[in-house]
Every structure is written in structure tokens, then in C-alpha cells.
Amino acid sequence: MSELRKDPVVDRWVIITEDPTLSTVIQGGPVGEPQDSFCPFCPGNEHFCPPEILANRPADSHANDSGWNLRVIPNRSPLLVIEEDLKRLGEGIYDKVTGVGANEVIIETPHHGRRQSCMGLDELENIFWAYRDRIIDLKKDGRMRYVLIYKNSGEAAGSTLGHTYSLLLALPIVPRNIADELHGAGKHFEYKERCIYCDIIRQEIQLELRVVSETKNFIAIEPFAPRLPFETWIIPKRHSCRFEEIEPKEVGDLAVIFKDVLSRLDCALSDPPYNYAVHTAPFDSAYERFYHWHVEIIPRIVTQGGLEFGSDIYVHSTMPEDAAAFLKNIIV
């Protein structure tokens, strides 16, 4: 059984699992795409996967069979499990929580090896609707406080299969980086009575120095202080703290800017490995006025070293203004 344990100094949570196959082992050798001798996510192999939780498929097709456009399934080797009883325990000065949660896989397309930048807008919309629907469903479980949706694309970014997929992790705690964002956004609102992300949007549109792409409802920027080269944020222009409250007109627009940004990154960086995560508010209702959901995309093109590990100070040589200009000038 897994456990969540909290560092008492910096409030960082870790998941410790008894399953050794869930730990990442770093090995030597070239970095590239995972090499699949067999893919359980391809059509025709549905019986090798757990029963689907949600699927986008024609009305005349059958659950857990081929003919689907997108499937959501439980992770066969979950970090956390929904069947556990939630227990918040103390061990002297230390805090831990039983390994309660949900760990799901969003199989984004039946086409093996298709990158999101090569998908149609309807395929991307299906992905975002699946994200929304799963968050809404998991909010009904009173034990959960947060749902993290993230993607590993490429072996160097943590992907284990060449078939594109996203991951969902429902948690009984709030991750520290989200808690840090909530704290910073809350302080800004307390002082200025404005959302910091709305301020960022207004300034970036005015200056045009770090804008990569823009639609009616979204803006994509290189953040002022990026952790890694070509880090890109996609932010909705309408103030909203929760991804699951996205409006239908915004889903289509999100697909447009997502495809545009990923196409530019793929062209600029030769199909790099990358991660993205949806940053959204926790399930309680204290964040509507000052938090703003967004997506953070990080290409994995440089290696982090001891400085980053020891200080949480990131060093690289790519100015975000230069990265934005380079990406913006690419014809896609």
C-alpha cells in the first residue's frame, strides 16, 4: 500500500509505494521515444487494459472494444487507490496519509505515435472534455482535495509508451507547487485586489515581448522568469480559477491555441520531449477571486544539475523574449 508523507520543514508531499516497478530508474544510453514491442493502448488490445471509465466512441460500438476515439481507464499500476480508507496519521512530528486517490490514464487517440501537434482540433477537444468530465466526477468524492492532470511526452519526459496518453491523479492533499501559487496569488490580491494572472495577461498583451500566440479566449506566453528554455504558459483571458468550469466556446479555442503552440515547439525544437500540467484550483471554494487556472508546458531539452537541486534556482541561457520571438516567427 502507498503512503503520502509530508516534509515537516517545507510542506512537500511525497508518495512512497511498495511497488518497485513504479519508481523511475535512470539508465545510460540514448534518450528518445519509448520502444514498444507491444502496445496495450492500440485498438484491438482493449482486453489487456482495465475496464474503461469513460470513452468517446460511436453509439453502435461496445464498451471495452475497438471503434473508440478516446478512452479513460484506471492505471494498471496505480500510485494511489480509490478503495483505501482515508486516514490522516501522525508519527511524532511527522504527518502521513494513507494512499487514497485515483490514478487514471487518458488514451488520447487510437493512432499509435501521433503527437498532439499532429491531431485534429476535434481530437484535442475530446481530450479537454475528458479532462473536465473526470475532474467533475472525482469532485464528488469528499476525500479528494485536488486533481492533477499532466502529460509526459517522450522517454526523457517520463513516458513509458510510444502511444500518446495523459495521466490523472486525484489526491487527498494539495501539491506544494499549487499551494505556493495559491499563496502568491492570494498575497497579490490582498495587496492590490486584483488577480495576478489577469495582471500578467494585460501587461503581456500591452508589451508584446513574450506573447507566442493569442486567440479570442486564450493567450500563450513565455513567462518572465522561466525555469527552463521555451517554458510556455497557456492562460484563459476570462478570469476563472477552475479548469472544469471551462465554457464550450473556450474548449474549441483552447484546442486551436494548444495545437498552434505545440506545433511551434515541435518545429523549433525538432519534436522535443515535453511535460505539461493543468494548474487548477483545489476543490474547496476559497480561491475564486484570486486564482486563475492555466496550463504550463515545459520542453525537456536541458539537464538540471546540482544547483537546481540544491537551491531551486534555475539557470539557462535562453531569454524568454528571444524564445517568444523565435516561436512567433515560425510558420505552422
Q: What is the pLDDT of residues 265-313, one digit of tens each?
A: 999 999 999 999 999 999 988 899 999 999 999 999 998 889 888 998 9
Chosen CATH of 177-328 out of 3.30.930.10, 3.30.70.20, 3.30.428.10, 3.30.70.1400: 3.30.428.10
Per-chain mean pLDDT for the chain: 93
pLDDT band at 37 (very low <50, low <70, confident <90, very high): confident
Q: What is the pLDDT of residue 54?
A: 97
Task: Tell me whether residue 313 is exposed, middle or buried, using C-beta atoms within 10 angstroms of its C-beta: 0 to 12, 13 to 18, 19 or more.
Answer: exposed
| CB 168, CB 151: distance < 8 Å | no
The rounded distance, in Å, linking the Cα atoms of 299 and 288 is: 30
pLDDT average, residue stretch 321-330? 97
Task: Tell me whether residue 34 is exposed, middle or buried, using C-beta atoms within 10 angstroms of its C-beta: 0 to 12, 13 to 18, 19 or more.
Answer: middle
CATH superfamily to which 3-20+34-175 belongs: HIT-like (3.30.428.10)
Write out the residue limits of the CATH 3.30.428.10 domain(s) in the chain: 3-20+34-175, 177-328
Q: Indicate yes or no: pTM above 0.75.
A: yes
DSSP 145: -
User: How far out from the chain centre does Cα 325 lie?
Assistant: 25
Q: What is the pLDDT of residue 27?
A: 39
pLDDT average, residue stretch 56-69? 95
Q: What is the pLDDT of residue 98?
A: 94
pLDDT, tens digit (0-9, with 9 covering 90-100), for 228-251:
999 999 999 999 999 999 999 999
Alpha helices of the chain — where are they, by DSSP H? 121-138, 176-192, 196-207, 248-269, 306-311, 320-328
pLDDT average, residue stretch 133-160? 95
pLDDT average, residue stretch 190-218? 97
Q: What is the pLDDT of residue 29?
A: 35
Q: What is the pLDDT of residue 123?
A: 98
